[in-house]
Chains A and B, each alone.
Chain A
Amino acid sequence: MKGEALKGHLDLLLLAAVQEGPSHGYAIIESLRSRSNGAFDLPEGTVYPALHRLESAGLLASRWAERGGRKRRLYRLTPRGRSALQRQQADWRRFAQGVQAVVGPES
């Protein structure tokens, strides 16, 4: 699935990707790819401006961490981010149920 199809959903996906604990950009992208069984195979650079925007909005916080001689920027959910994630998850489930009801089951 390309970036255009994800329009409006990227924030939710990124917040969900870091809900288990702090993660860096590379790992977030890997997580999106593997958890979606390869459906979300975005150009990797796409997520960074979104991560920065979510941080500016106070939904994520970040810090540098060094492991194995490589510095990485780790992102984690803030309390506001956790609330926003819960809200967006609920919205998404309602939306998905509505679409499913209209589209119908796989024939």
Chain B
Amino acid sequence: MSNDGAIAAYLDELRRGLPAGLRRRRILAEVGSHLEEGAERERSAGLPPREAERVAVARFGPAEPLARRFAAELADDGARSATGAAAMALAGILLLWIAMSQVGAAAPWPGERSSIAAEVWATWLGFGVALMAIGLGAALGRFRLPRSAVAAAAVAVLAMGVSTVACARMALASEYASAPMHTVVTLVTLRVAVTVAAIVAVARGARRVVAGLGASPRRA
């Protein structure tokens, strides 16, 4: 393939229309391989190399609508990974909360100590709001599911972030003094790690969803 040929130009246009990431590399490699194979067959049939590339590209179809279709697929993937990450992180936070309660560093239920109750309730309130956003978004059809799902995941990780900050502040203020210090440090560190990982995963998913907004209908 020549760098200034029709295939290279096509792949450049497709690259510009796709969000960066591992999936983009795969798509470009797959499309490039297909176009090379098509051009090779045209050359075998007697066409000059440049013409062979041009014919292969023409048979493949225009790059811009293809990029939009792929972007829509990537948006769905992004929403799935964002909501999956948020759900796994919520489960992780719950397990860590149970672990903390086992070592005597649990947040009591509301009414016992309001500052700690806020930490627990921020998570579950956020989770509830997130679920409602998914349900309402889908039921009303006002948003495509990927958008409402990723918005819900964002609300959930935001709530997780708030509650994790509260948890870390309480650990620093020695409010968990009744529990072994090294255990509390380990559990709080794990919780911060889970929260940060979830925020990063949801942000990446959201980026793919945003890149796919306005894409053409997904089914050919």
Identify the A interface with B (CB < 8 A): 3, 6-8, 10-11, 24-26, 42-50, 52-53, 56, 70-73
In the A-B complex, the 4 residue pairs with the closest CB atoms: A43-B61, A49-B69, A45-B61, A45-B60
List residues of chain B with CB within 8 A of the CB of A26.
33-34, 37-38
List residues of chain A with CB within 8 A of the CB of B219.
7-8, 10-11, 50
A24 vs B33: C-alpha distance when bound (angstroms)? 10
Is A73 within 8 A of B30, CB to CB?
Answer: yes
Contacting A70 at CB < 8 Å: which of B36, B59, B73?
Answer: B36
Is A25 within 8 A of B220, CB to CB?
Answer: no
A27 vs B36: C-alpha distance when bound (angstroms)? 13
Rounded to whole Å, the gap between the CB of A97 and the closest CB of chain B is: 24
A70 vs B30: C-alpha distance when bound (angstroms)? 11
Is A44 within 8 A of B59, CB to CB?
Answer: yes
Q: Quick one: CB contact mask for B39-77 with A, threshold 8 Å, 1 for yes?
A: 000000000000000000001111000100110110011
List residues of chain B with CB within 8 A of the CB of A48.
27, 30-31, 34, 66, 70
Rounded to whole Å, the gap between the CB of B122 and the closest CB of chain A is: 33
Is A71 within 8 A of B34, CB to CB?
Answer: no
- How many of B's residues come within 8 Å of A, CB to CB? 25
Rounded to whole Å, the gap between the CB of B71 and the closest CB of chain A is: 9
List residues of chain A with CB within 8 A of the CB of B59.
43-44
Is A42 within 8 A of B220, CB to CB?
Answer: yes
**11 additional contacts (CB under 8 A) given A44-B60, A56-B73:** A7-B219, A10-B220, A25-B30, A26-B33, A44-B59, A46-B61, A48-B66, A52-B73, A70-B33, A71-B29, A73-B26
Given A56-B77, A56-B80, also A50-B33 (CB < 8 A): no
Identify the B interface with A (CB < 8 A): 26-27, 29-31, 33-34, 36-38, 59-62, 66, 69-70, 72-73, 76-77, 80, 218-220
16 contacts between A and B (CB under 8 A): A10-B219, A10-B220, A11-B219, A24-B33, A25-B30, A26-B33, A43-B59, A43-B60, A43-B61, A45-B31, A45-B66, A48-B27, A49-B73, A52-B27, A53-B218, A72-B33
Rounded to whole Å, the gap between the CB of B34 and the closest CB of chain A is: 5
Is B220 within 8 A of A7, CB to CB?
Answer: yes
Which interface residue of A10, A24, A49 has the most chain B CB atoms within 10 A? A49
List residues of chain A with CB within 8 A of the CB of B30.
25, 48, 73
A44 vs B36: C-alpha distance when bound (angstroms)? 13
A3 vs B220: C-alpha distance when bound (angstroms)? 6
Rounded to whole Å, the gap between the CB of A9 and the closest CB of chain B is: 10
Which interface residue of B37, B72, B80, B218 has the most chain A CB atoms within 10 A? B37
Rounded to whole Å, the gap between the CB of B172 and the closest CB of chain A is: 43
Is B73 within 8 A of A46, CB to CB?
Answer: no
